[in-house]
A = this chain, B = another copy of it.
Amino acid sequence: MLLFKSLAQKATASRSLFLNSSFSIRNSSTMFPENKLRFIPTSGTYPLGFFAGSLCCGIKKTLRNDLTFIYSSTPCTASAAFTKNLVKAAPVTFDKSLLDNVKASGTPTIRAVVVNSGVANAVTGIVGMANCEKMANAADKLMELCDKDSKNPIVSSSSSSLNKTLVMSTGVIGQQLPIEKIVSGISNLQGKLGSDHEHWFQAALGFMTTDTFPKIITKRLQLPSGKGSFNLCGIAKGAGMIHPNMATLLSSVFTDASISQAALDNALSYAVDLSFNSITVDGDTSTNDTITVLANGQASTSTGNKWEIQLENDPDFDFFKTSLAEFLKELAILVVRDGEGATKFIEINVTNAGSTEDAKKIAKSIANSPLVKTAFYGQDANWGRILCATGYSYPSSFNPDTVCLYLVPKDGSPQLPLLVNGQPIPFDEARASEILKPEDISILIDLGISKHSATVYTCDLSHEYVNINGSYRS
C-alpha cells in the first residue's frame, strides 16, 4: 500500500515534469483516475537502440497525443498477429502484405512503427490503402533524416525498396485519415525522438483513445544459458471493441533480444494465445486488432558475446516464449483493467474441463454475458447467470452433476463454494458481498470432467460503459 502511494506520487510528479517539457504537447487536460495511478510506471528498462516520440497533430478533437513513432537504429526481426475479423482495416492489410514481402525477401528490413489514434482507417477503400503508404513513406523519410543526424550513423543493411515502417491506426471506423495533418505531424517529430522514459511514456499516450491511462510496461531478463540479457518494452491500448481474435486493438512490443524469424513468430503466436486472446471487454472483435514485435538484437551486438535465440534445440527459446507470454499477459490485463466503464477486474478460471478449447469457450461465454457482467457491477453473487452462460457455450463435454462453482477471495482466505457437484450450497450472502467488493474478483468453475483449464480476464458492465458508447462519435 505504501509502495502504491509512493508510486502514485511519483507518477504525479512525473506528469508535472512532462507538462513543462518541450515535447509535452498540451497534455494539461490529461488526468488519470486515482485508482489507476499504481499501473503507470515512472521509470523503465528500455531496449537498446530504439527511439520514441509522440505529439498531437490534430486528429483528435481534444489536444492529446494522437501520433506516435518508434524506430530502431538497426533493422529488426519483425513478427505480428492481426484481427481475424473479415472486415480488416487498411493498416492490417498493409502490414500483413509488407511483412509477407519482407519474409519472402529473406532480409529483415523493418525498423519502425507509426501509430495514430482518433481514426481507425477501417472501411476506407482505396484511399485508405494509399494513406497507409503515405504514412509509411513519411515515417521512412523521417528515419532517414534521423540516421543522418545520428552521431553514429548506421549503414542500412539493405537497399530494399520495401517500406521499413509498420502502420497502425485506431479510432472511429469509416472515416478517412486527415492524411496531410499526419504526414506533417510525422516530419514535426524530427528532433523530438529519444530513448528516455519520458519519450516512451509520451509514445504510450499517443496510443490512447477511450483509455483512461497509458499502458506501458518494461522488463529486463537474463537468458538461462547465461549468454546474455535483454530488455522488453510493451505498449497497448484498449478500451472498447475488445475481444481480440489474434491481438487487441493495437499493441507493440520492442526488444533488443537477438532472435531468429522462426523463433519470434512461434513465440508470438504462443504468447498471444495466452494473453490478448484470453481477454474480453465487450465481445466485439475489432477490425484493427494488431500486435507487432520488433527485435533489433542490439542486446547481443552491443556486447562482445554474440548470441541469437533459435527455434530448435535452444533452451533459451522456451524461456523467451514463456517470458513473452507472461509479459503480454501483464499488458493485456492492463487493457482489461481499463475496459470502457470498468469498475471490476474479473478473473475467470475454468478447470478440469474435457479440453483446453472447452475451458476457454466456457470462460469466454461467462466473460461476455451481459447478465454476468452487470451482476458483478452490482456486487451480486448471482451464480445462476454464471452457470447459465456455461451451459449455452455448448462445450463438447459437460456434466451438470459434476460442476462446482466458487468465489475466490483475492486475500488468500478460503474459497466460498456456491455450487458443489451441481447442487446449490446455502452460502453466507454477507461473506459473498465482502468478496465481491474489491476491484479484483476471481471465480472458479470446476467442471470435474478431465484435466484441462483456461483463464480469461474481463471487466464488468457499468452505467459508464453505456455513457461512453451511447455517444462515442459525438
B123 and A473 contact, CB distance less than 8 A = no
Q: Which B residue sits closest to A469, measured CB to CB?
A: B374
Alpha-carbon gap, A465 to B461, bound state (A): 10
Contact A385 B284 (CB under 8 A): yes
**Residues in B neighbouring A388, C-beta threshold 8 A:** 85, 87, 122, 173, 241, 284-287
Known contacts A370-B465, A374-B465, A390-B87; A124/B424 CB under 8 A: yes
Shortest CB-to-CB span from A120 to chain B, Å, is 7
Q: List A278-303 residues whose CB lies under 8 Å from chain B.
A: 282-287
**A184 interface hit (Cβ, 8 Å):** no
Minimal Cβ-Cβ distance residue in B for A380: B473
B172 touching A474 by the CB < 8 A rule?
A: no
User: Which residues of chain B come closer than 8 Å to A467, judged between CB atoms?
Assistant: 463
A400 and B424 CA atoms in complex are apart in Å by 48
Given A87-B391, A370-B282, A391-B87: A382 and B241 interface contact (C-beta under 8 Å): no
From B241, B384, B387, B392, contact of A172 by CB (8 A)? B384
Q: Is A378's CB under 8 angstroms from B173's CB?
A: no
The answer on a CB contact under 8 Å between A284 and B369 is yes
Check B85–A391 contact: CB distance below 8 A.
yes
A466 within 8 A of B: yes
Q: Do A283 and B173 touch across chains, with their CB atoms under 8 A apart? A: no
CA distance A123 to B374 in the complex (A): 21
Residues A226-258 near B (CB distance < 8 A): 240-241, 243, 245
B469→A375 contact, CB < 8 A: yes
The reply to whether A283 and B384 contact each other, CB–CB distance below 8 Å, is: no
* Given A284-B369, A398-B86, A380-B470 contact (CB < 8 Å): yes
Closest B residue to A281 by beta carbon equals B370
Q: Known contacts being A370-B283, A384-B122, A424-B124, is A377 close to B466, with CB within 8 Å?
A: yes
Q: How far is the CB of A417 from chain B (nearest CB, A)?
A: 13
Question: For the complex, is A183 an interface residue (Cβ under 8 Å from B)?
Answer: no
Interface string of A111-152 (1 = CB under 8 A from B): 000000000101111000000000000000000000000000
What is the chain B residue whose CB lies nearest that of A374? B469
Within 8 A of B (CB), among A59-110: 84-88
Let me know if A270 is at the binding interface, CB within 8 A.
no
Kindly list chain B residues whose C-beta atoms are within 8 Å of the C-beta of A463.
463, 466-467
A4 within 8 A of B: no
CB distance from A247 to the nearest CB of B (A): 14
**CA gap between A371 and B472 in the complex, in Å:** 10
Within 8 A of B (CB), among A362-380: 368-371, 374-375, 377-378, 380
- Say if the beta carbon of A307 comes within 8 Å of chain B: no
In the complex where A86-B400, A174-B424, A380-B471 touch, is A287 in contact with B465 (Cβ < 8 A)?
no
Question: Do A422 and B282 contact each other (CB < 8 Å), given the known contacts A87-B388, A173-B388, A472-B382?
Answer: no
Knowing A86-B400, A283-B369, A461-B466 touch, does A472 contact B380 (C-beta < 8 A)? yes
**Alpha-carbon separation in the docked complex, A120 to B384 (Å):** 10
Nearest-CB distance from A401 to chain B (Å)?
8
Instruction: Tell me, yes or no, whether A395 is within 8 Å of chain B by CB.
Output: yes
A259 close to chain B: CB less than 8 A: no
Shortest beta-carbon distance, A89 to chain B, in Å?
10
Taken together as a complex, chains A and B put the C-alpha atoms of A368 and B287 apart, in Å, by: 17
Interface: A18 (CB within 8 A)? no
Shortest Cβ distance from A282 into B: residue: B370
A400 to B126, CA, bound (A): 12
Closest chain B residue to A398, Cβ basis: B86
For the complex of A and B, 8 pairs with smallest distance between CB atoms = A173-B384, A87-B391, A378-B470, A374-B469, A285-B392, A85-B391, A86-B391, A174-B384
**Can you name 7 A-B residue pairings with CB atoms under 8 Å?**
A85-B388, A86-B398, A120-B384, A122-B388, A284-B392, A378-B469, A380-B471
Q: Which residues of A contact B (CB under 8 A)?
A: 84-88, 120, 122-125, 172-175, 240-241, 243, 245, 282-287, 368-371, 374-375, 377-378, 380, 382-385, 387-392, 394-395, 398, 400, 418-419, 422-424, 461-463, 465-467, 469-474
Query: 19 extra interchain contacts, Cβ-Cβ under 8 A, other than A374-B466, A375-B470, A375-B472?
Result: A84-B392, A85-B388, A85-B392, A86-B391, A86-B394, A86-B398, A87-B387, A174-B419, A240-B371, A241-B388, A243-B392, A282-B369, A283-B368, A284-B369, A287-B387, A287-B391, A378-B474, A380-B472, A461-B466
